[in-house]
Amino acid sequence: MRYQNEAFRHRERLLLDTALDCFKRDGWEKVTVAEVAAAAGIAKGTVYKHFLSKESIYAQLALEFSRACLRRYLTVPVGDHPLETMRELILLAFNLMREHPVEVQLSLHCERPEFQQRLEPKLREAFQSLDRQYTQLFNDLLDAAVKQGEIERKPSEPLYWGVDTMFQGVMARIAAGGFGEWREPVDLDAYFHHVANFIIAGIHGASPASDDDTEAQSC
């Protein structure tokens, strides 16, 4: 009884790893469950003893990547210049994405509500939990920046919208394979650098009281 359990778990890891390899080699959309199973030396039916569906595999891989990234971010110490730390984190995130385009594609795919509602509740909650942790990370950093006097205190949510949107955009860009049909070749390093600047500028300058509008109930 013990041995079988061990073997079962081992197979699950093997399947996830194999699936990711296949996705990286041939594109996650094209790879079939049968191919993954064959590559792992396992019958197709067995895959469904471990995962409810192919999409469930997508979700687990996306979750693992997201968790690994978060773990990495949390090791970065917040110095005396939280906004610089934020820039550092942003660039770190972009580089992690660049190194793992397939995982980024999967993440984008799995974030869609339409996808999530098909998903088993357990995994859906895992996604939500991660979202919360990322929001927390951002808010902590923003608070630190306020405390250090780098920015004025203002509602954090609109700023998070901006940053989140920017991240979505970069993910879409990376998932799309960079600047495929762009006018001229684009260096991803330069792109990352400028986008990071754009974000920091947005945080500095966005939406305090510029002109019209009805928010600003800060504090």
Contacts with a copy of itself, residue ranges (CB under 8 A): 27, 29, 87, 108, 111-114, 116, 127-128, 131-132, 135, 158-159, 161-162, 164-173, 175-177, 180-181, 183, 186, 190-191, 193-195, 197-202, 204-208, 210, 213-218
Determine the distance from the C-alpha atom of residue 137 to the mean position of all C-alpha atoms in its chain, rounded to a whole number. 13
CA 183/CA 111 separation, integer angstroms: 30
* 74 interacts with, out of a copy of itself, DNA, none, CB within 5 to 8 A per kind: none
* 198 interacts with, out of a copy of itself, DNA, none, CB within 5 to 8 A per kind: a copy of itself
Q: Which tokens in the block code for residue 198?
A: 């754009």
Q: Which tokens in the block code for residue 35?
A: 């191919």
| Least Cβ distance, residue 8 to a copy of itself (angstroms) | 31
Nearer to a copy of itself, 11 or 67 (CB): 67
Whether the Cβ atoms of residue 12 and residue 56 lie closer than 8 Å to each other: no
DSSP per-residue codes, 74-89 = HTS---S-HHHHHHHH
Residues between 54 and 113 that touch DNA (CB under 7 A)? 54-55
Whether the Cβ atoms of residue 88 and residue 97 lie closer than 8 Å to each other: no
* 193 interacts with, out of a copy of itself, DNA, none, CB within 5 to 8 A per kind: a copy of itself
Task: Considering only the stretches 2-10, 82-90, 167-175, 201-209, report the one whose residues sit in contact with DNA under the rule CB under 7 A.
Answer: 2-10
By CB under 7 A, name the one of 13, 26, 43, 194 that touches DNA: 43
Residue closest to 65 by CA, chosen among 137, 138, 3, 16? 16
Whether the Cβ atoms of residue 92 and residue 76 lie closer than 8 Å to each other: yes
Nearer to DNA, 34 or 186 (CB): 34
Angle between helices 156-175 and 101-111 (to 10 degrees): 120
Nearer to a copy of itself, 45 or 185 (CB): 185
In the complex, the residues that contact DNA under the rule CB under 7 A are: 1-5, 7-8, 11, 31-35, 42-46, 48-49, 52-55
